[in-house]
Every structure is written in structure tokens, then in C-alpha cells.
Amino acid sequence: MKIRVYYEDTDCGNVVYYANYLKYMERSRTEFLRKRGICLSSLQKEGYLFVVAEASIKYKAPARYDDLLEVESTIAGITPVSLIFDSVIRNEDQKLLSKGRVKLAFTNNQGKLWRIPDKIINLLS
């Protein structure tokens, strides 16, 4: 997915603030799931959530104000109760800016780990 860097995304040097890369990756993961027919708001209404259990990110080069970024997320692993996503962020010249990995745990609305329904696994396979 493409994301434009706005002024509000940057620090005083017009470089994207480090935590915003995680936000960009979140948007990419959400759209990845949506394209496969998995609506997170519908899951929430049913009493289930994907919550971030682990996150790591490596910064390679800065994104700057007004850059157009390409954020790509892919599934790196599936367990009965979690999804692992890898994400990469590149600029318009396809230069790698950052890459990250996020593990999402599937829980009920009380925070208890829950087995991911087969219908979701099938949509991701």
C-alpha cells in the first residue's frame, strides 16, 4: 500500500518519527487482512481481537516529509493462536527504509488466548 508522509509524521528535522513506522505497518497489515475477507471490526463485534504480542523493527534509511512510501506486509508464520507478519517500507526509488516483524496473538475480549478459527486460517492459506 502507498502512504504519503505528512508533516505531522515527522520530527523537527522533517524525518519520519521512529514510532510512525509501526503505524504504517499496522495499516498495511489491516489492509492485507481486509483484502482476504477478514474484517477486524467484525471480529471485535464477535468478541475477538488480534493483539500485538511482539514487535521488532530495523531502520535502514530515513523517510522524509512528502515522500511516497510503499509498505508491504506478508505472513511469515501461522500458529493456532498467532500470526507473524513481516513488513518492509520502501521509498519511491525502491530503497529499503525499514523492515519489521510483528506477532499478533488471537484473543477473546477478556484477553485470553484463543484458537484462530479455521475460516480465518483458510482465508490466509
Predicted confidence (pLDDT) per residue in 50-89, tens digit: 999 999 999 999 999 999 999 999 999 999 999 999 999 9
Q: Is 9 a catalytic residue?
A: no
| Identity of the residue numbered 40 | L
> 9, 11, 67, 86: which one is catalytic?
11
Question: What is the per-residue pLDDT across 2-58, written as a single tens digit (0 to 9) for each?
Answer: 999 999 999 999 999 999 999 999 999 999 999 999 999 999 999 999 999 999 999
Length of the chain, in residues: 125
Closest CA to 67 of 116, 125, 22, 9: 9
Cβ–Cβ under 8 Å, residues 65 and 14: yes
125 — pLDDT class (breaks 50, 70, 90)? confident
Largest CA distance in the chain: 47
Question: What is the per-residue pLDDT across 82-121, written as a single tens digit (0 to 9) for each?
Answer: 999 999 999 999 999 999 999 999 999 999 999 999 999 9
pLDDT at 2: 98
* Distance of alpha carbon 63 from alpha carbon 122, whole angstroms: 36
Prediction pTM value:
0.94
Class of CATH domain 2-124 = alpha beta
* Distance of alpha carbon 76 from alpha carbon 67, whole angstroms: 27
